[in-house]
Amino acid sequence: MGGHSLGELTAFHAAGAFDFQNLIRLAAARGRAMTVSGDQKGGMVSLRCSEEEAKGILKQTAGYIVLANINSPQQIVLSGELTALEMAIKIAAKQGIMAKRLRVSNAFHSELASHAVKVMEDIEFLPEKLAVIQTRLFSSTDGEEVKQGISLRKHFAGQILSQVNFINMIRSMAKNCARPFRPGKRYYGRQRSCMHTNRIIAVRGQGYEQGACLPLYPRH
């Protein structure tokens, strides 16, 4: 099981890491912590291009800006200062690359959200460590399987600053899953492009004898 950015909280809950009440409390605390106002506020931009093309745009952009999300081979998200994002949008337009500002409150998965790390590390209602879970969990930051015994607070604190690599997560999940699951139309194409195959992901539930994998998503 795995989740994209905020969706990773739901994946951990579904795997049995914490109960529904604490899922809601954690999501609310994360949202409050990551939101800023005033001069420090950043933003995010979605690009319809490859990772290499996005890196080329970054090299031409002044100011603080990073590659925040690798969502598919042709969908990348940049995060950073508003002036740097505007410059990136103009550079992308000159190269014929579609760019769109995302309606978010800050530059998530970047150092501009570093103020939220301490808040997440100090959340007392979460279990200290990831105990026994009901199914396998995969990280959206590196695609690797999440091991039991990790510090939940440190994991979710680090996730705030880390790049999301949805491609690696989907491919890792596909490699370790045995039964197909077809998500809604909105995400079917993204998953298939990540895997270069029609084989999607497996889900744990009624009729399945073994645990399997299910990607969970936020809105962006």
List the catalytic residues: 5, 109
Of the candidates 37, 49, 27, 25, the residue with the CA atom closest to the CA atom of residue 219: 27
Strands annotated E in the chain: 2-3, 42-47, 65-72, 75-81, 99-101, 164-165, 215-216
Q: Which letter does DSSP use for residue 149 in this model?
A: T
Of the candidates 96, 74, 218, 76, the residue with the CA atom closest to the CA atom of residue 159: 218
Amino acid, single-letter form, for residue 84: A
The dihedral built from the CA positions of residue 62, 77, 196 and 210, taken in this order, carries a sign that is positive
Tracing tokens 């409150």 back to the chain, one arrives at 105
Residues facing residue 66 across a β-bridge: 79
d(CA 162, CA 5) in angstroms, rounded, equals 10
